[in-house]
Amino acid sequence: MTDLRLAGRPAYFGAKVARVEDDRLLTGRASFVADVRLPDMVEMAMVRSLFAHATISVDLDAVRAADGVVDAVSASDLTDVGVYPDFITYMQPVKATVLATDKVRYVGAPIAAVVGEDRYRAEDGVELVEVEYGELPAVTTADAALADGAPKLFDHWPDNRIVNLPLELEDVEEVFRTHRVVSGRYATHRHSGVPMETRGCAAEYRHGRLTLWTATQSPHIVRTTLSYVLPIAERDIRVVAPDVGGGFGTKTHIYPEEVLVCWLAMRLGRPVRWIEDRTEHLVATNHAREHTLELEAAIDDDGTIAAVRCHLLHDVGSAEIFMPGICPTFVAGSHVAGAYRIPLAQNSYTQYVTNKTPSGAYRGFGAPEAYFAVERLVEKIAKEVAVDPIELRRKMLLDDGDLPYTTATGGIIDSGSFRASFERAVELGRKAEAKRRSEHDDDGSRIGFGVATYLEGTTPTYFGTTGHWTSHDSATVRIEPDGSAVVSVGVTTTGQGTTTMVAVLTADALGIPIESVRVEIGDTDSCPYGLGGWGSRSTVAGGGAILKAAGQVRDKVLRIAGHLLETDPADLEIEGGRVHVAGSPDHSVSIGDVGTAAWVRTVDLPRDEDPGLEVTATYDPPLLEHFADERGRMNGAAVWANATHAAVVKVDLQTGVVDILDYVVVHDCGPVLNPPILEGQVHGGVAQEIGGVLYEHFPYTEEGQPLATTFMDYLIPSATEVPDIVVEHFESPSPNMPLGLKGAGEGGCLGPPAALSNAICNALEEFDVDITELPLTPAVIRSKIRAGRGDA
Amino acid sequence: MQPVTEPVESLEVTLTVNGTTVTKRAPVRKLLSDFIREDLGLTGTHVGCEHGVCGACTILLDGEPVRSCIMFAVQADGREVTTVEGITPPQGLSPLQQAFKDHHGLQCGFCTPGFLMTITGVNPDDYPDEESIRHMLAGNLCRCTGYQNIVKAVQAAWGRPTA
Task: Assess if residue A157 is contained within a domain.
Answer: no
In a domain? residue A2: no
CA closest to A722 among chain B residues: B146
Do A509 and A379 lie in one domain? The reply is no
Angle, CA A632 vertex, CA A181 and CA A165 arms, to 5°: 85
Q: CA of A362 to nearest chain B CA: how many angstroms apart?
A: 13
Calpha distance A11→A297 (Å, rounded) = 49
Same domain, A439 and A308: yes
The CATH number, out of the four listed (3.10.20.30, 3.10.20.90, 3.40.630.10, 3.40.50.300), of the domain defined by the range B10-87: 3.10.20.30
pLDDT of residue B1: 66
**How does residue B12 score in pLDDT terms, banded at 50, 70 and 90?**
very high
One domain, residues A254 and A397: no
- Nearest residue of chain B to residue A690 (CA atoms): B146
Please list the rounded mean pLDDT of every run of 10 residues in chain A (792 residues).
82 98 98 97 98 98 98 98 93 96 97 98 98 98 98 97 98 98 98 98 98 98 98 98 98 97 98 98 98 98 98 98 95 98 98 98 98 98 98 97 97 98 98 98 95 97 93 98 98 98 98 98 98 97 98 98 97 96 94 98 97 98 96 97 98 98 98 98 98 98 98 98 98 97 97 98 97 98 95 66
CA distance A612 to A594: 10
DSSP state of A51: S
* Interchain pair B44, A28: CB under 8 A: yes
Model ipTM? 0.98
pLDDT one-digit tens code per residue, A410-453: 999 999 999 999 999 999 999 999 999 999 998 899 999 999 99
Task: Quote the minimal CA–CA distance from B60 to chain A in Å.
Answer: 15
Q: Which residues of A touch B38 (CB under 8 A)?
A: 37
Cis before A323? omega within 30: yes
State the pLDDT at residue A792: 56
CATH of the domain at A68: 3.90.1170.50
> Are A384 and A481 members of one domain?
no
CB A47 within 8 A of CB A110: yes
Check whether residue A458 and residue A479 sit in a common domain: no
- Tell me how far apart the alpha carbons of residues A444 and A131 are, in angstroms, rounded to a whole number: 55
A712 and A664 assigned to the same domain: yes
Buried b (16+ CB within 10 A) or exposed e, A185-212: ebbbbbbbbbbbbbbbbbbbbeeeebbb
Of A145, A149, A78, the C-alpha closest to A111 is A78
Query: Which chain B residues are within 8 Å of A495, Cβ to Cβ?
Result: 107-110, 144
The verdict on A426 and A498 lying in the same domain is no
Helix A543-565 to helix A498-510 angle, to the nearest 10 degrees? 30
**In a shared domain, residues A425 and A568:** no
- State the DSSP code for A577: T
pLDDT band for B3, please (50, 70, 90 cuts): confident
Task: Please check whether residues A276 and A298 belong to one and the same domain.
Answer: no
Cβ pair A45, A124 in contact under 8 A: no
Q: Which of A277, A495, A677 has its CB closest to that of B109?
A: A495
Q: In what order do the strands lie in the sheet with B10-17?
A: B20-27, B10-17, B80-82, B58-61, B64-67
The per-residue DSSP string of chain B comes to -PPP-S--SEEEEEEEETTEEEEEEEETT-BHHHIIIIIS--TTS--S-SSSSS-TTEEEETTEEEEGGGSBGGGGTT-EEE-GGGGS-SSS--HHHHHHHHTT--SS-SSHHHHHHHHHTS-GGG--SHHHHHHHHTTS--SSS-SHHHHHHHHHHTT----
> Could you read off the pLDDT of B28-75 as tens digits, one per residue?
999 999 999 999 999 999 999 999 999 999 999 999 999 999 999 999
Give me the pLDDT at residue A3, please.
78
Set of chain B residues whose Cβ sits within 8 Å of the Cβ of A28: 42-45, 83-85, 88, 113
Does A187 map to a domain?
A: no
Inter-chain touch B100–A248, beta carbons under 8 Å: no
3-state SS, residue A216: coil
In chain A, which residues have their Cβ closer than 8 Å to the Cβ of B44? 27-30
Number of compact structural domains in chain A: 3
How close does chain B come to A679, measured CA to CA in Å?
A: 9
Examine residue A565 and state whether it is found in any structural domain, yes or no: yes
pTM of the shown model: 0.97
Question: Which residues from B are below 8 Å from A277, CB to CB?
Answer: 50
pLDDT on residue A465? 87
Tell me whether residue A145 is in a domain. no
Residue A296 sits in a domain whose CATH number is 3.30.365.10
pLDDT computed for residue A1 by the predictor: 38
B101: left (phi over 0), alpha (psi -120 to 50) or beta: alpha
Looking at the fold, whether A350 and A443 belong to one and the same domain comes out as yes
Element (H, E) at A63: helix A61-64
Alpha carbons A45 and A49: distance in angstroms, whole number:
13
- Strand order of the β-sheet with A572-575 is A572-575, A578-581, A584-590
CB contact under 8 A, A710 and B53: yes
User: Which range marks the domain in which residue A536 is found?
Assistant: 22-29+472-619
Record: fold of B95-157:
DNA polymerase; domain 1 (1.10.150)
Point out the domain boundary residue: A619, A648, A681: A619
Identify the sign of the CA torsion B127, B133, B138, B142: positive
Distance CA A774, CA A757 (A): 9
CA end-to-end distance (rounded Å), chain B: 50
CA distance B144 to A687: 8
Task: Count the neighbouring beta carbons within 10 Å of the beta carbon of residue A444.
Answer: 9
Q: Give yes or no: residues A643 and A716 share one domain.
A: yes
pLDDT tens digits, one per residue of B83-118: 999 999 999 999 999 999 999 999 999 999 999 999
Domain ranges of chain B: 10-87, 95-157
Amino acid at A155: D
